[in-house]
Structure 1
Amino acid sequence: MSNRAPAILVLEDGRVFRGEAYGSVGETFGEAVFNTGMTGYQETLTDPSYYGQVVCQTAPQIGNTGWNDEDDESRRIWVSGYVVRDPSRITSSWRAKRGLEDELAAQGVVGICGVDTRALTRHLRESGAMRVGVSSRSTDATELLAKVRNSPQMAGANHVAAVSCAEPYTYVADGETKYTVAALDLGIKRNTPRRLAARGITTTVYPAAANAEDVLSGNPDAVFLSNGPGDPATADHQVELTRELLRRRVPVFGICFGNQILGRALGLGTYKLKYGHRGINQPVLDRLTGKVEVTAHNHGFALAAPESGEYFETEFGRVRVSHLCLNDDVVEGLTCLDVPAYSVQYHPEAAGGPHDADYLFDRLTALIDAEGAKTDA
């Protein structure tokens, strides 16, 4: 017989799921979303892009590989809550230092287990991502529902400041430094500067509130716009910064939230997806190569496709919608044809896999070289 406290999950439309406490006992609120990855839960939990969200794992058993000290993507767990069906009773990885539930409890993450996550996921797919509450403090569904409906919406939320670094820091290249990159921390994951370092790039990471003078103070070869949480429609400061970089012809590479910022700087709008893309199995067409990549995603907002189709005109010249999601035709990437900038909506740095898109970091060094050749000429 389980000695876990009873727990309850209540969605804002009134749907109720009952289970047992998992991790920390308490009460939490956020946006209910689901992640379809079969592996990489540690990377998911420590991804700052999940700030403000209660994550439901669709894989039926979670926790098999425990928790280690190497795979964290940031300084802490960021999810507001965690929902699993069957928590693993044992940890079976030689790399594990402790159990997943031990880490959740240590960091105060309120979770629920014993939930029919398949039913919950199907409900979110049909009704859309929505606010949710999880409580092991009280199992009164009516009381929790009232609190859920008074909690903040994700649309219009500006979460970047909550996850960004407070001061700049530098991640040094592996071996000789061939290039330098300034990264804007909107919720950056640790594997991004690692992938850059493997290509001889020393990266200086700046707070999200940095201005153009701050970012360009070290005369970087390029600027990187990171992933991050919240509604991109609130990122006016970062959009204006990006426009200034484009005016100065500074090479720019953005991923996820950074893709949406570049898109907004180029004149595109954004909108909220019904239930978002979160997982490691999304098929994306790279129109530049004709290849289909299996990609890792974590976004609830997307760029509005330009009315003109694949190509569109901006004040910075022509732009191509270079990547497309084959599941639902969502814009998955942009490539500027007249200024040195490009972006993708997915995660080429995904540590939990897949790694089909790792070449996009090589594209950055090629862009730096090409822009340098033009300057020299």
Structure 2
Amino acid sequence: MKRQLVLENGESFIGEGFGSDSEINGEVVFNTGMTGYQEVLTDPSYYGQIVTLTYPLIGNYGINRSDNESGRPRISGLIVKEVSKTPSHWQKDKTLSDWLAEYGVPAIEGIDTRRLTKIIREHGTLRGRIVSAEAEAAKVAEELRNWPLPTDQISHVSTNSAYVTPGSGPRIVLVDFGAKQGILRECIRRGCDVVIVPYRTTASDILKLHPDGILLSNGPGDPKDVPEAVRMVGEILGKIPLFGVCLGHQLFALASGANTVKMRFGHRGVNHPVRDLHTGKFMITSQNHGFTVEEESLKDTELEITHLAINDGTIEGLRHKRYPAFSVQFHPEASPGPDDSQGLFDDFLKMVNEYKKEGVRLA
């Protein structure tokens, strides 16, 4: 069945539909990863977005029960050059198309994904809609230009109630803004006693859990859309060791007096080089974000830059000069992607244990 992708600037692409036959709006973005499509599509940070995968063949190992980063696909729609009709892998449960159809996610194949990616790189992320091939593109484009991007994405992907993954190690409160399973997995691997709480949990309620450390997760959207979370982080700083990842990094920056801005087309892929300014070493990282911390805004804060992106010089890591708190813009749990930066979880726990030894933890 022929389907059409229409962009708000009037560009349109005709291809073959797969997955669900529904119509959907979303912010059209691209991811440059060559593999790991299941982890990408279940990453809550993509909520509300139509994801273009630049690798030309997608779905060749199907869908399994091991690689999900959340319980279901979180994307609004999917765009690929070619989808595999006959996937082959010993863990495969179903095809990509059947899986997307099960969850009502529309997809389109057979379009020029290279041309689409170039358009996004030139114009920035664009509103888009997957519709029938017969739809009038000019009318759809006009509707898209008047369609406001959502601001409540986190409410759709955060847990509704707190739950515990017990362990014998330090108690870590993981604030769930749309946390990937990989973050929880890395904490469990290190024996942490993890309490996962909703994104609207207040600082006072978090402190009542007697945490040894606070972990701010990744998540979708603009960090300025959750001022209550910024307020919570500000009230936690200096009381409990804190580690922020991706959206958590941006919230940490805002709570410390810095500013965040939207990027032209963001960083989405598994091969982004980052330099550690302390060691001088380079690491290859997995990234998925459309906002960044504005470097100019750091001047009047107590934050120092710890990591920089090699490709465009944007900020990839911050540390507080007085408080036990640091953050990174990339994904140290690397799902999918390399494991160069997984040691950051060890750095966090080292900071937690040192802080406990000093006897100044808030009881």
Give the TM-score of the pair, scaled to structure 1: 0.93
* Per-residue CA distance 1:77-102 (angstroms, 9 max, x = gap): 11111001111121111111111111
Once residues 255 and 213 of structure 1 are traced to their aligned partners in structure 2, the CA distance between those partners, rounded to angstroms, is: 22
Q: 2:105 aligns with which of 88, 106, 109?
A: 109
Note if contact 2:14-2:133 (Cα within 8 Å) is conserved in structure 1: no
Q: CA deviation at 1:376?
A: 6.3
Structure 1 residue runs without a partner (length 5+) = none
Name the structure 2 match of 1:319. Answer: 303
1:371 positional shift: 1.0
Q: Give the CA deviation at 1:307.
A: 5.5
Q: Which amino acid letter does the alignment assign opposite residue 308 of structure 2?
A: L
CA–CA separation in structure 2 for the residues paired with 1:148 and 1:81: 15
> 1:181-238 CA deviation, whole Å, 9 max, x = no partner?
0011100011111101111112111011110122222201001101001111222111
Matched, 1:170 2:164: yes
**Is 2:138 the partner of 1:142?**
yes
Q: Is the 8 A contact 1:184 1:224 kept in 2?
A: yes
Is 1:302 paired with 2:292? yes
The yes-or-no answer on 1:287 pairing with 2:277 is yes
Alpha-carbon contact 1:30-1:151 (below 8 Å) kept: no
Which residue number corresponds to residue 211 of structure 1?
202
**Which residue type is aligned with residue 135 of structure 2?**
T
**Partner deviation per Cα, 1:143-173 (whole Å, 9 max, x = no partner):** 322332232226xx23211211111111233
- The 8 Å contact of residues 62 and 96 in structure 2, kept in 1 or not, is answered as yes
Query: 2: distance between equivalents of 1:32 and 1:231?
Result: 16
The answer on whether the counterparts of 1:25 and 1:137 sit within 8 Å (CA) in structure 2 is: no
One of 46, 68, 78 as aligned partner of 1:72? 68
Residue in 1 that maps onto 2:357: 373
Q: Which residue is equivalent to 1:267?
A: 257
- Separation in structure 1 between the aligned mates of residue 89 and residue 52 of structure 2, nearest angstrom: 23
1:161 aligns with: 155
Specify the SS of the correspondent of 1:375. coil
Which of 265, 268, 271 in structure 2 is aligned with 1:278?
268
Out of 63, 71, 78, the position equivalent to 2:59 is 63
Matched, 1:51 2:38: no
Question: Contact (CA 8 Å) 1:158, 1:231: kept in 2 or not?
Answer: no
CA contact (8 A) 2:303 2:321 kept: yes
State the 1:354 CA deviation: 1.0
Letter in 1 for 2:187: L
Q: Distance in 2 between matches of 1:301 and 1:158?
A: 16
Paired residue secondary structure (1:70): coil
The answer to whether the 8 A contact 2:271-2:337 is kept is no
CA distance in 2: counterparts of 1:87 and 1:72, whole angstroms: 19
Q: Given the alignment, which residue of 225, 229, 232 partners 1:241? A: 232
Q: For residue 110 of structure 1, what is the amino acid of its counterpart?
A: P
- Give the Cα–Cα distance (whole angstroms) in 2 for the partners of residues 376 and 265 of structure 1: 22
In 2, Cα distance between equivalents of 1:47 and 1:138 = 32
AA of the residue aligned to 1:195: E
Match of 1:96 in 2: 92
In 1, distance between residues paired with 2:22 and 2:85? Answer: 22
**Residue equivalent to 1:190:** 181
Q: How does 1:116-127 map to 2 (within 5 A)?
A: 116-127=112-123
Partner-residue secondary structure (3-state), 1:285: strand
Gaps of 5+ in 2: none
Is this contact kept in 1: 2:4–2:133, CA < 8 A? no
Q: Pick the aligned partner of 1:353 from 337, 360, 363.
A: 337
Q: Which residue of 2 aligns with 1:19?
A: 15
Q: Structure 2: which amino acid aligns with 1:375?
A: G
Correspondence 1:29 to 2:25: yes
4+ runs of 1 displaced by more than 6 Å? Answer: none
Contact in 2 for aligned 1:43/1:351 (Cα 8 Å): yes
> What is the one-letter code of the residue matched to 1:171?
T
Q: Displacement of 1:142 after TM fit?
A: 2.5
Letter in 1 for 2:12: V
Mapped to 1, the partners of 2:131 and 2:33 lie a distance apart of 25
The 3-state SS of whatever aligns with 1:274 is strand
SS at 2:358 equivalent? helix
- CA change 1:319–1:98 in 2 (3 A) is same
Query: Could you report, residue by residue, the CA deviation over 1:287-333 in whole angstroms, capped at 9, with x for unpaired residues?
Result: 1221111000000011100366xxx553xxx3211010011111111
Structure-2 change in CA distance of 1:138 and 1:375 (3 Å): farther
TM-score (norm 2): 0.96
By how many angstroms is 1:138 displaced?
4.3
Report if the CA contact (8 A) 1:227-1:256 is conserved.
yes
* Aligned residue type for 1:29: N
> Could you tell me which of 220, 223, 248 is aligned with 1:232?
223
Identity among equivalent pairs (%): 41
SS in 2 for 1:360: helix
Take 1:193 and 1:304, find their aligned partners in 2: how far apart are those partners? 29
* Offset of residue 132 of structure 1: 0.5
What is the Cα-based RMSD across aligned positions, in Å? Answer: 1.5
